[in-house]
Structures are given as structure tokens and as C-alpha cells.
């Protein structure tokens, strides 16, 4: 492997998404072991200024396609440009995030460049100069170690919040390569007329470090207010199981699970969630899982790091109050910074 490690940088509203920094960390680790350089690919409108930030997180080179036509993601335009770049530069590895955008784009580009694709990878290692990826199967019940011995480039999507992003280093110098864009109207088969966004004070579900989720045990939409109160104290996102979504208690965009969103936060608090296989597939890789359920035999307790067996309508308000006390105590401390004389 000598042709470089590439990552696709996701950007939204002028900000780089967290998964991008995690991908750079993975790429940097591979590059350090194989003697290659790390390149990031950045598409969008008005994104050129973000290239230096990617350099601070480990990119040696950034390929920038800055064009009005790339303001909104379309797999047609993005797929054509990225595929052409890969064919022209022949990187050995291309990594994308296991996000809705990354999954869509990776599949299209892999087909265009005639290579394989390993999806939803949770681990990467190098053995005998061969890249080996860990991938969950059967809803996370088992993990497979997968290689692509013949495929070039090796393409994979990486699950978020699995790898820790490196600390930025301002001393890094990055080479910026402006991409020549050759697009025709006939390339575009999708027309985006408008983008509807939700204004929320809480973190986006797949980006959150802490998630509070509710399931069947919440007994109705009005009771999700308890979860929102706890989430606001913790600076967390709110999620729900498929049962909660199907019952109309919470919007489908907040669904966690195999048919919803895959999350890997630092802390996942499951409230009244039994722990079906489909739900576990979407959150089982969370670093710390706290389960609150009145059923001691609930499946969620099998993977929980901490379990509370009790009535969630009593436990959650108490937990919220205790978190408020801890937050208030933390805020009462003052940091004294000495002034240089």
C-alpha cells in the first residue's frame, strides 16, 4: 500500500462533522504504519477555508471541490467527482463515515470505480501489510474480521464514535489541491427544491456524546418530557425505540436501531427499553450503557454496564435532580488563572 489513505470529509452549514475528525485519526494511524500520506476530500459551497482545519487534524493534503452546484449533497454530482478523483489518483484506501450521506455515497462510488465496500466497520488493524476490518453481523451478536485482498482501492464506511479523534495540531502544514470540476446538467438526475431543517437545542442524534432513549415503558408521548428534562441537564440528545416511534410517541428521525439510526455515544441511557435485537444493533457499541427497566429479565440488562431495576417514573426524576445537584456543585467552583507579570 503506497498510494495514500483518503477520507471523505463531511460538512454541514460551514462546519466539519465530528465523524470526519475520527476518520482522520484512523487514516493517520494506517498511514504511520504503512508510510503513506493522508488526504481528505472536501466538497461543498464556500468550504475552501475549512481545508486548514482538516490539516490540523492530520491531513497532509486536501482535495477541495468548491462550487455552487455542490451546496447540497446529491449522489450524482458528489459521486461523479469523487469517483473521477479516485480513478485519477489511485489511493490505496478510501474511508467514509457510516452516516446517511456516507453510506449512500460510498455504495455509488464503489460501483463506479469497480471495487468492494466494507460497511459499518468498528475496528481496523494491519496484519502482514493487510488491512483487516471488524464488522458486526446478525445485529451485533458476532463480529467478523474482513479483508479485501484484491480490491483497490479498499473502501470502507466507519461507524461514528468508535475511534477517538486526535487533538488538533496547529503546526501541521496542509497542501490544498483545487479540484477541476466537470459537471453537466445531464449528470444530475435529482432536483433538490428545498431543504427543511429542524431547529433544536439538543445535539443531533448521531453526533451526540450522550443519548437518553425511551421505549415501550414510557407509556405515552407525554412522558417523554421526563427524558427531555434529563437530556437538557446532561447536554444529551433524545432518542426512542421502534415501538415508541410506531406508537407515535416520538418522531421517526429520533429512532435508534437497525431500521433507524446507528449511534455510538459515550453514554447511552435506555429508559423502558426491553432490548430487542434490532434496537441493540443500533446502540450496542455505546461505550457505557445504563438501563432503567422494571423487568429484571429484560434483554437490555445483558449488555448494560449499569442496570437500575425499578419504576422509571420514579427513577428518572430522581436521577434528573441528582444530576442538577452535581451540575450546580460543579458550576460553583471557580478556576483562578494567574496573570503573568
* In a shared domain, residues 20 and 147: yes
Residue 184 confidence (pLDDT): 80
> Is 311 inside a domain boundary?
yes
CATH of the domain at 272: 3.40.50.1220
> Is 58 inside a domain boundary?
yes
Q: What would the pLDDT profile of 63-100 be if each residue is shown by its tens digit?
A: 999 999 999 999 999 999 999 999 999 999 999 999 88
> Is 341 inside a domain boundary?
no
> Is 290 inside a domain boundary?
yes
* In a shared domain, residues 110 and 245: no
> Is 115 inside a domain boundary?
yes
Q: Which of 39-43, 111-115, 150-154 has the lowest mean pLDDT?
A: 150-154
* In a shared domain, residues 163 and 14: yes
> Is 113 inside a domain boundary?
yes
Report the chain's mean pLDDT, rounded to a whole number: 89
* In a shared domain, residues 81 and 161: yes
8 Å CB contact between 316 and 230: yes
8 Å CB contact between 201 and 236: no
Q: What would the pLDDT profile of 222-274 be if each residue is shown by its tens digit?
A: 999 999 999 999 999 999 999 999 999 999 989 998 888 888 899 999 999 99
Q: Which of 94-98, 211-215, 247-251, 336-340 has the lowest mean pLDDT?
A: 336-340
Q: Which of 136-145, 155-164, 261-270, 326-335 has the lowest mean pLDDT?
A: 326-335
Looking at the chain, the whole-number percentage of residues with pLDDT higher than 70 is 93
> Is 286 inside a domain boundary?
yes
Is residue 1 pLDDT above 50, yes or no?
no
Of residues 12 and 317, more confidently modeled: 317
Residue 183 confidence (pLDDT): 83
* In a shared domain, residues 209 and 182: no
The conformational region for residue 252 under phi > 0 = left, psi -120 to 50 = alpha, else beta, is alpha
The boundaries of the domain holding residue 242 are 205-332
* In a shared domain, residues 24 and 159: yes
Last residue of a domain, one of 137, 154, 187: 187
Of residues 169 and 39, more confidently modeled: 39
* In a shared domain, residues 162 and 69: yes
| Pairwise CA distance, residues 10 & 267, whole Å | 24
* In a shared domain, residues 42 and 171: yes
Is residue 50 pLDDT above 60, yes or no?
yes
Residue 282 corresponds to which cell in the numbers above?
Answer: 443500533
Last residue of a domain, one of 187, 222, 237: 187
* In a shared domain, residues 169 and 20: yes
Last residue of a domain, one of 161, 187, 213: 187
CATH of the domain at 168: 3.40.50.620
Quick one: 63 exposed, middle or buried, by C-beta within 10 A (0-12, 13-18, 19+)?
buried
* In a shared domain, residues 49 and 126: yes
Q: How many domains does the chain have?
A: 2
* In a shared domain, residues 67 and 183: yes
* In a shared domain, residues 224 and 278: yes
> Is 298 inside a domain boundary?
yes
Amino acid at each position: 500500500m503506497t498510494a495514500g489513505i483518503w477520507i471523505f470529509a463531511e460538512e454541514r452549514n460551514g462546519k466539519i462533522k465530528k465523524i470526519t475528525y475520527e476518520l482522520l485519526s484512523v487514516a493517520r494511524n494506517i498511514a504511520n504504519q504503512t508510510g503513506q500520506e493522508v488526504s481528505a476530500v472536501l466538497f461543498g459551497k464556500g468550504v475552501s477555508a475549512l481545508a486548514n482545519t482538516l490539516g490540523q487534524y492530520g491531513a497532509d493534503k486536501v482535495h477541495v471541490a468548491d462550487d455552487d452546484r455542490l451546496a447540497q449533497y446529491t449522489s450524482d454530482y458528489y459521486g461523479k467527482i469523487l469517483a473521477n478523483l479516485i480513478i485519477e489518483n489511485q489511493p490505496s484506501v478510501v474511508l467514509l463515515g457510516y452516516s446517511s450521506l456516507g453510506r449512500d455515497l460510498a455504495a455509488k462510488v464503489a460501483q463506479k470505480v469497480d471495487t468492494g465496500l466494507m460497511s459499518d466497520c468498528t475496528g481496523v488493524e494491519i496484519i502482514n501489510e493487510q488491512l483487516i476490518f471488524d464488522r458486526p453481523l446478525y445485529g451485533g451478536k458476532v463480529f467478523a474480521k474482513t479483508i479485501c485482498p484484491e480490491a483497490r482501492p479498499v473502501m470502507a464506511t466507519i461507524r461514528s464514535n468508535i475511534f477517538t479523534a486526535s487533538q488538533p495540531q496547529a503546526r501541521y502544514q496542509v497542501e490544498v489541491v483545487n479540484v477541476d470540476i466537470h459537471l453537466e446538467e445531464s449528470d444530475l438526475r435529482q432536483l433538490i427544491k428545498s431543504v427543511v431543517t429542524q431547529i433544536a437545542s439538543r445535539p443531533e442524534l448521531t453526533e451526540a456524546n450522550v443519548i437518553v432513549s425511551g421505549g415501550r415503558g414510557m407509556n405515552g408521548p407525554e412522558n417523554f418530557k421526563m427524558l427531555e428534562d434529563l437530556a437538557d441537564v446532561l447536554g444529551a440528545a433524545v432518542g426512542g425505540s421502534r415501538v415508541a416511534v410506531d406508537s407515535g410517541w416520538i418522531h421517526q428521525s429520533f429512532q435508534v436501531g437497525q431500521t433507524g439510526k446507528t449511534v455510538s455515544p459515550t453514554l447511552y441511557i435506555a429508559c423502558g427499553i426491553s432490548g430487542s435485537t434490532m434496537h441493540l444493533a443500533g446502540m450496542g457499541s455505546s461505550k457505557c450503557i445504563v438501563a432503567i427497566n422494571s423487568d429484571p429479565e429484560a434483554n437490555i440488562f445483558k449488555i448494560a454496564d449499569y442496570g437500575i431495576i425499578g419504576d422509571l417514573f420514579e427513577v428518572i426524576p430522581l436521577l434528573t435532580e441528582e444530576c442538577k445537584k452535581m451540575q450546580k456543585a460543579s458550576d460553583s467552583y471557580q478556576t483562578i488563572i494567574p496573570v503573568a507579570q
